[in-house]
Amino acid sequence: MSDDDFLRVEARDCPMSTCAAPAGSPCRTGRGKVAVAYHTARFRQVPHLAKALSVAVPPVRKPGTAWVELHRPAAGVETSEHARVGYARASTVRQSLDTQLDSLAAAGITRVFAEKISTRATVRPELDKAIALAREVRATGVAVTLVVHEHKRLGRGLELAALAEQLKAAGIGLQFLTGELQGSHDPSGVVFTVLAALSGMEREYIRDRTLEGHESARARGKAIGGASVVDEAMLSMAQHLRGQGASLRDIAAKLVITSGAKKGRHPSAATVLRMLREHDHAAQTAEVAALEPTA
């Protein structure tokens, strides 16, 4: 079950007479609580869930709490309402969030999720909560925008592009209050298109650099070993651990090579350092190229 499958289930009324939850709301129990799982007759109306044995109600719906009817989306019709959800982030605990919070407050944003966590962290709990809330509101037919002081608060390079793709798929807009991308951006607008293109370009750039390095090494008679930079799962885990402050030695000890002659072994700390450095360099190069004016 994907993250937004519950929205597909809730796009339909529950046909169970003991529930009869309207579209936009989770199923309910006979005792007036939010059900732990959607009723079978409801989730089987979604083609790719038709053969599932059970579909859990997500935490955002607060299973087990008193059931209340949520706003029912008009059938295929967008409402004139517009909700804005704020997000603020500082890279370290010593950095202040005051400037960002003041900026969001001045823009009239009352619901703000804030955290102090490195840009390199692959999991950002408060950002995930902000997006989950935006998705929930968007499912009711209300236009939603994620508002941030500056685009760098969301991430750089590949991370920002991947987030933009996620928001675009959910129909959530973006607004930056300052910086190079200042302004409001619709999911179908040019900024989302550029960020998506940047994502693809950066992946290709990393791949090409890796292949060129391998060819150069082979030409010199060197064997290609260690962890592959193109292993995105390993790179993602290494970035996450680095964001938590882990040392190169500790990161290497938690990674496992999944292919090649050294399959099942741990990469060296030097390999981890090289992998992270190449990714950071590629991300910085792509970001600079994207911001430079064209001739």
Give me the active site residues, please. Answer: 91
- Pairing mode, strands 173-176 and 183-185: antiparallel
Q: Which two tokens stand for residue 93?
A: 């605990």
Q: Which two tokens stand for residue 1?
A: 């079950």
CA distances from 212 to 24, 198, 261 (A): 51, 21, 21
Task: Return the closest-CA partner of residue 188 out of 175, 201, 171, 200.
Answer: 171
DSSP string, the chain: --TTHHHHHTTS----TTT-PPTTS--B-TTSBB-SB--HHHHTTSGGGTT-S--BPPGGG-TTSBP-PPPPPPTT---S-EEEEEEEEESSTTS--HHHHHHHHHTT---EEEEE--TT-S--HHHHHHHHHHHHHHTTT-EEEEEES-GGGT--HHHHHHHHHHHHHHT-EEEESSSTT-EEE-TTSHHHHHHHHHHHHHHHHHHHHHHHHHHHHHHTT----S--TT-HHHHHHHHHHHHTT--HHHHHHH----SSTTTTSPPPHHHHHHHHHHHHHHHHHHHHHHHSPP-
Torsion of CA 59, 61, 65, 71, to 10 degrees: 170
